[in-house]
Structure 1
């Protein structure tokens, strides 16, 4: 290598410095770009994760809204059913109260009405019927009554037992005498044919049977 002049050496040094600076800037630029790309990817992943979380939250909220709407529909249906049942119960209670009022009027009228010797209903010409002897006899057959008339008499007497406040848990022979008298008068007033049966034995037999059946039913439930 030949000897270089000072000027040549200065030029060579300057060129080398420029090359070093160029290499340094390129490396730095590459490093910066790499770091920026890493940051961009990190931020992009964070954005994606946040978006997924928002979507999941939205889906969950929509499901909760749908469930709440369904629950509201069910609740409204139940309220409507309850209101309808309440209306039916009120109507039934009103009908029962009206029936009780009619029976009470019959009892009151029977309690205050004097026993009439002749009523002009034609029953005076029919023979009286005594209570059958022994046991095991049929009430309806002993009353010489058809099934339809007997069923009607049964319904009346059952209602009068309740209105007369007889104690169905006690034996018929232990019932209050005044309540029994009221029952017999009301039954004869509702069905004059019951006057045919001496000492009200038919009315007593039907009432006794009804009370026995209620005790039997209550025993079976317990």
Structure 2
């Protein structure tokens, strides 16, 4: 499956290119919008991964340019920008998903597959477990129909749980969901802190500790 990656950071670009190749994606990587324009003219890509801060302009402007030209290629924005206004603007300009850095390569591959399934009309983006409902596109979460305010770290952690409700997840997999592939550089208690915060918002019994194995999101209260 052919993917176009527009990312000007050399390390992130190479990691994404190699990592996605290991996950059965073929990636053409460019660092400037001018190069991306040429590649889009000569190739039929299944999806584009778009950074926002680029050396020859802003990625949001490039996305708007594509949509104004009726280019319907699925686009996943990948950026370090966390502001809600930026996410909203990206979605309004026509992005199909929004992933913040640092990210897990497994999550990136999963989001690519999800976007391609939606393009083919085969799946919903909404994650649901019992009375919890999350929309990763708008980064909104409800419990019993009421909005829950989550920090970016809490959102990533709960999303990882909702992707596999009722299944044990190891500390390593949850740390990767929180911190991407830089998880070895974070404090050892980071996961415990955010598990504690989530329990305060979801209920102390909703996330179960499975001693010696990890954690599990219970599907019902």
- TM-score of the superposed pair, with normalisation by structure 1: 0.22
Look at both structures and tell me which one has the larger radius of gyration over its CA atoms. 1
Q: Which has the higher contact order (CA 8 A, sep 6+)?
A: 1
- Judging by fraction of residues, say which structure has more strand: 2
- Judging by fraction of residues, say which structure has more helix: 1
- TM-score of the superposed pair, with normalisation by structure 2: 0.22
